Amino acid sequence: MLINLDRVLNQDQLAVANDLLGRGKFAAGAASAGEMAQREKHNLELVADDAHKKGLDNLVMGALLRHPVYLNAGLPRRVAAPFFAIYGEGMGYGSHIDNPVMGAGEPYRSDIAITIFLNDPEDYEGGELEIQTGFGAQQVKLNAGDGVMYPASFRHQVNEVVSGERRVAVTWMQSLVPEADRRELLYQMYLAKENLGNSHPDAESTVQVEQSYCNLMRMWSRL
pLDDT 10s per residue in the chain (223 long)?
899 999 999 999 999 999 999 999 999 887 766 666 667 789 999 999 999 999 999 999 999 999 999 999 999 999 999 999 999 999 999 999 999 999 888 899 999 999 999 999 999 999 999 999 988 999 999 999 999 999 999 999 999 999 999 999 999 999 999 999 999 999 999 999 999 999 999 999 999 999 999 999 999 999 9
Give the integer Cα–Cα distance in Å for 207 and 190: 12
Up-side HSE of residue 93: CA atoms within 13 Å toward CB? Answer: 30
The Cα–Cα gap between 118 and 218 comes to 36
CA torsion through residues 160, 86, 115, 48, sign:
positive
Indicate whether this model's pTM tops 0.85: yes
Give CA angle at 182 (202, 142), nearest 5°: 95
Residues in Cβ contact with 110 at an 8 Å cutoff, skipping those fewer than 6 apart: 80, 98, 99, 100, 101, 102, 152, 172, 173, 174
